[in-house]
Amino acid sequence: MHQRPLGPFSVSAIGLGCMNICHAYGSPIPESEAERLLLSALDQGVTHFDTAALYGFGASETMIGKVLSAHRNRFVLASKCGMQGVDVNGDGKLVRVIDGRPATIKATCEAALRRLKTDVIDLYYLHRWDRQVPIEDSVGALADLVREGKIRSIGLSEVSAATLRRAHAVHPIAALQTEYSLWTRNPEIAVLDACRELGVSFVAFSPVARGFLCGPMDVAAFDPKDIRRSMPRFAADNYARNAELLPAYQQLAREAGCTPAQLAIAWLLHQGPDILPIPGTTRIDHLTDDLGAADVKLSGDLLAQLDALINPRTVHGDRYNDQANREVDTERF
């Protein structure tokens, strides 16, 4: 696997996002399947695993600790704080809460270390900026964790260029993570340039557009718990219009000699050596397909055709609904 810098680390150009194994797109896969997937990723050269306290309310971190802690020296471990499950009503039911207070960040880290079965997290992100807490205070708590040796570097997720600069003034930010793909170009407004100005690695989640770029799908058949049900682009009317882009996109994949998923990830890799896609999946065959994108070479002409085909002017619907948009700090078209 080709290598790219991730803050102070060198990792596989394509990492593994570990949300899908327990969260967001329906019922969690059996633990045995999650174990095989994680070990297969490691065996295929993945050295960047990305998880969060939120994913499955700790289930993803627990699975990584169970499966990969014995191989801890073989990969860079990234996780996130600032958004997790909390028993708000005292009835045992966890509710997703954004909380960037220093004490909460430190407590979340301690719990993560136990679940991950490690004494240090390589890259620890603030999953969401809690607008009730100055970003300087949240990053200050993360800086304390660096000094205490509990984390090695600090990341931010779904923030704007202005917030990144404020955070970076408190402590160097190693990486910024946000959604980036052919159909989500928001980073190109400002934050990608800010990352390059400050020397911050850019981690791109949902590089295959939450499965859209892998091929036609039946949005009416999504699992009731699938988060895409709340995303405007997957609403029936918007999806029908977006799906009209797929035949031409699939033809470009054939011209490139790769699969549609590989084309999406290869496009990201061609946007710069500082960009690190982290596709997620529950299937080993999809994982192998995704990783094959590292060897796909795209011509300038084909890249131009992709840009013209799928971009903010041709995609219908916002990436998030109104509530989710209020929770992120990213720039919007």
What topology is assigned to 3-211+268-295+321-327 in CATH?
TIM Barrel (3.20.20)
pLDDT value at residue 75:
98
Tokens standing for 91? 């009835």
Quick one: average pLDDT of 218-236?
96
DSSP state letters, 192-230: HHHHHHHT-EEEEE-TTGGGGGG----GGGS-TT-GGGG
pLDDT band at 99 (very low <50, low <70, confident <90, very high): very high
pLDDT in tens, 20-57: 999 889 889 999 999 999 999 999 999 999 999 999 99
Q: How far apart are CA 208 and CA 319, in angstroms?
A: 13
Strand-pair category, 48-50 with 16-17: parallel
How does the average pLDDT of the chain come out, rounded?
97
Identify whether the C-beta of residue 147 lies closer than 8 Å to the C-beta of residue 109.
no
pLDDT at 98: 97
The distance from CA 54 to its chain's CA centroid, rounded to whole angstroms, is: 13
Per-residue model confidence as pLDDT tens digits over 108-164: 999 999 999 999 999 999 999 999 999 999 999 999 999 999 999 999 999 999 999
Annotated domain spans of the chain: 3-211+268-295+321-327
Predicted confidence at residue 89, as pLDDT, reads: 86
Beta-bridge mates of residue 12: 3
Residues labelled catalytic: 55
What pTM was estimated for this model as a whole? 0.97
Check residue 157 and give its pLDDT.
98
Residue 24's pLDDT is what?
A: 86
pLDDT the model gives residue 102: 98
Which pLDDT does position 57 carry in this prediction? Answer: 94
pLDDT tens digits, one per residue of 289-319? 999 999 999 999 999 999 999 999 999 999 9
Contacts of 256 (CB under 8 A, 6+ apart): 262, 263, 266, 296, 298, 302
CA separation for the pair 309, 209 (Å, rounded): 14
The residue among 150, 67, 167 whose CA lies nearest residue 107 is 150
